[in-house]
Amino acid sequence: MDVSFNCPKCGLHISADAEAVGELINCPECDVEFRIPPGRPRQRPVPVDVKKSTGPAGALVSAKGKTGPTGKASTHKPLVVPHHTGPQESLLKKAEPVAKPKPEPPKIRVRCIKRSTCVEVGHDRFDEVVTEFLNQVGQANIIHMSPIAYGVTDASGRMLPDYGIMVIYKG
């Protein structure tokens, strides 16, 4: 099983064989010498030939050519550095943005409120009906208001003058 750790100087992420824990190595990036610490387990290592100074007179010896304490050639790979080409892939895929349809512009509407239709059992509710309608529409949506005058024929055939209001609004 491999262990994973970082260089104490440059922070390079390195993986090594668990049997190499405690050995002196040189960082492949900044060449600082340090001991391989016990690290977290690593799944798939990428082998790299790393040189470390263990020979007499400071000669550089390849880590792959090292002999173990029994005098036999070591079969483990002591150091592995993961390599990435290009930017690292994201594990999460972003959803494609949904194209929102453009909202249709609000339609222009007209409402005429006649006073004669607001009279109930002798009570004139014209002001209340107009106020309620204007509150429903909202002040920002009102485009124009105009008074209107018209005539109504009563049951005896006489023409009675009346009034109302015309409201032009967005809605």
User: For residue 88, what pLDDT is reported?
Assistant: 65
User: For residue 59, what pLDDT is reported?
Assistant: 42
Under 8 Å CB-to-CB from 38, ≥6 apart: which residues?
A: 3, 21
Distance, in Å, from the CA atom of 128 to the CA atom of 134, rounded to the nearest integer, reads 10
User: For residue 24, what pLDDT is reported?
Assistant: 87
Q: Model-level pTM greater than 0.75?
A: no
Return the SS3 of 51: strand
According to DSSP, the residues that pair with 169 across neighbouring strands are: 109, 142
Of the candidates 42, 10, 5, the one whose C-alpha atom is nearest the C-alpha of residue 28 is: 10
Terminal Cα distance for the chain, rounded: 70
- Weakly modelled stretches of the chain, pLDDT under 70: 1, 39-84, 86-92
